[in-house]
Structure 1
């Protein structure tokens, strides 16, 4: 039976993928695994035939070396959670994508847009709970993708050879503005929530004050600022190509989520 190692196995996509696989092994610090500690890799990879790859720290460059170790240990299938434009030189995940492509193993790369779950269990959840979501996205819109769709595609790619060599751009079925998104959530939650646009410079300063490293704060702010300039709203066909069905809508995500009150 295939054994699949899931990096980030307690995260938004990892835990959902684990529920979909019969023989999943979670790579976590509680079990002694550390992506930054090569000494912990051998035991995690023992008997593993497929790996779901996630790099939680965009400042790090650990995945290429881990990929080499994984393939040397007998892994024959790699599925990487990447990001839009990671195929371009200079992107933080470019080297990792290249390592996956050149590994000699069967590979699939997933490039999701902004997660819908960012509103419910990610970096924007606190603002939703508190009643004001302040972001530097202006009137921009994004085709938010449901993490359940990402998990469905990843599980398929980890278990079916027909996804080998594919790069899947994963989005929702339409671009949704932040104002509309917050209104939909407010109606579902039965309370007032507002979206407030803030200047990118102010947002960077706030993130740094909250303890976010400056390089990460500027990277994330730049991605959100792209939306206010009308970039990042393009739709991808990855969900439909991989699964033969359309992606879940933002409205479906909202209806299926329990919205907590602060």
Structure 2
């Protein structure tokens, strides 16, 4: 795609204020695309279909990320309905961020059945989950991560790589239509090893305490997370973190022609922001 062509392309980015959407929006703007942010701040609501048409109308493509995990009970229905509306409005090029694991398959299937020119990007666990979101407070305040990750290795992927892959698939015409791309980091790390790397980068001793998924769910409930969401997350962690995803994927290399960013690079850069300072 030439720079002039990219400048004429308008892409809707759902979740534009979130962890993934914000990085996709930034990467898309860097590539010369016109970004149309779709978040609650702009009046877009995944749970209110009446808000969808205004943001989709006149766009060329859309990046879809559901606010709850793509395997959440309401995700498949919402993604399917939005995808069908997008196609009806002439927005055929859709890229869905998904996760590795069978629980995400119903959501992917609704996208494939929508009539869109679709691409699915399946991502491993985000490296940025250690620097943004609910895992951060324990590391920062008590120097401990209490989590249901066991001792299972995971190929943590940098969200900047995910964003770069998404934008490349959006701008490469028909090259990635109808494909499912799996992206991961370049090596496997257990949560214990990842926390140790974070500690070295932050210059402080950090520890990891694995707990069963149901105990982590009790902790979430204590923080006020709704019971239905807790039950979903417990089931999710019991399936995703049972070792089935302990393998590397070559999607970053396949799409971008380079190796994915290493977790050590992420940890050093994030430590420089002070996110893990006590």
If the length of structure 1 is used for normalisation, what is the TM-score?
0.92
State which of 51, 60, 65 in structure 2 corresponds to 1:54: 65
1:225 Cα deviation (Å)? 4.0
Structure 2: 5+ residue runs without aligned partners? 1-7
CA RMSD between the two structures: 1.7
**Alignment partners' CA distance in 1, 2:237 and 2:108:** 23
Counterpart of 1:246 in 2: which secondary structure?
coil
Alpha carbons of structure 1 residues 100 and 227: separation in structure 2 relative to 1, 3 Å: closer
**Alignment partners' CA distance in 2, 1:15 and 1:181:** 24
Q: Is the 8 A contact 1:134 1:195 kept in 2?
A: yes
Matched, 1:158 2:170: yes
Q: Is the 8 A contact 2:198 2:267 kept in 1?
A: yes
Partner of 1:24: 35
Question: Where has structure 1 moved over 6 Å in runs of 4 or more?
Answer: none
**Alignment partners' CA distance in 2, 1:152 and 1:126:** 28
Q: Encode CA deviations 1:126-177: one digit per residue, 9 max, x unaligned.
A: 1221211001222221110100010000010111121111111111111101
Partner of 1:144: 156
Length, aligned pairs only = 257
Matched, 1:178 2:191: yes
Q: Is the 8 A contact 1:97 1:109 kept in 2?
A: yes
Query: What aligned pairs does 1:33-182 form with structure 2 within 5 A after superposition?
Result: 33-57=44-68, 58-60=72-74, 61-85=77-101, 88=102, 91=103, 93-130=104-141, 131-161=143-173, 162-182=175-195
Structure 1: 5+ residue runs without aligned partners? none
1:230 Cα deviation (Å)? 3.3
**Alignment partners' CA distance in 2, 1:81 and 1:144:** 16
Q: Encode CA deviations 1:13-68: one digit per residue, 9 max, x unaligned.
A: 11111112230111011111112112211111121110001111323231111111
**Alignment partners' CA distance in 2, 1:41 and 1:6:** 12
If the length of structure 2 is used for normalisation, what is the TM-score?
0.87
